[in-house]
Amino acid sequence: MAGKPKLHYTRGRGKMESIRWLLAAAGVEFEEEFIETKEDLEKLRNDGSLLFQQVPMVEIDGMKMVQTRAILSYIAAKYNLYGKDLKERAWIDMYVEGTTDLMGMIMYLPFQPADTKEKNLALIIERATARYFPVYEKALKDHGHDYLVGNKLSWADVHLLEAILMAEECKPDILSAFPLLQAFKGRISNIPTIKKFLQPGSQRKPQADEKFVAIVRQIFNI
């Protein structure tokens, strides 16, 4: 029997958090080896573990996988969260790319200069409510199903819930104009594996605070 996937990253969310979410949703237990110093990162680079000298890196099925998108699509396919055919995969990919764009904006907010944060926060809220969330609200309305694609839980649903919760950290009532997304949030949050991940004490990571931002800047020289 293969061992548990092992995730190599910092103690924060960053690009690894969506991988944690997807593994948790699939009911897969995983281990984490945290990068806490510049030396930890250099060790991984020097021993040839990082194909492009970058993390996230996930040890899974005898591979040392890098590149977030590649890792996520492998997990989605392996655990039957990637649709039943090529067209469903195409829709899942499109929806995931949209939520990735939105989450990227939110992810980088704590690392931005203080004098631009308010402006960037306003832009995140505008993009979420005018560009991204209307697409998912319409998708749920048009097909009348509980899930975004194929009326079955997929990577797209897991990613959207992660994005919704991140957006609500920016503005708690951000879903006020999206009743179907509010219902979607409730449904997906109550799927047993996801409900467990949302409980205190899980491997879900907190929002980045100033202390964590300083650690990341030191590790990655940014």
Instruction: Outline where 128-209 has alpha helix (H).
Output: 133-143, 155-170, 179-189, 192-197
Which of 144, 147, 145 shows the shortest CA–CA distance to 95? Answer: 147
pLDDT per residue as tens digits for the range 91-137: 999 999 999 999 999 999 999 888 898 999 999 999 999 999 999 99
What does DSSP assign to residue 59? E
Q: Residue 2 — pLDDT band, cuts 50, 70, 90?
A: low
CATH of domain 86-190: 1.20.1050.10
> Cβ–Cβ contacts within 10 Å for residue 216, how many?
18
Q: What is the pLDDT of residue 186?
A: 97
Q: Is pLDDT larger for residue 209 or for residue 128?
A: 128
- As a whole number, mean pLDDT of residues 149-175 equals 96
Q: Mean pLDDT, the chain, as a whole number?
A: 95
* Phi, psi dihedrals of residue 173, rounded to the nearest 5°: -100, 25
Q: Residue 1 — pLDDT band, cuts 50, 70, 90?
A: very low
- As a whole number, mean pLDDT of residues 173-188 equals 97
What is 6-79+198-220's CATH superfamily? Glutaredoxin (3.40.30.10)
Domain boundaries, the chain: 6-79+198-220, 86-190
Q: What is the pLDDT of residue 222?
A: 77
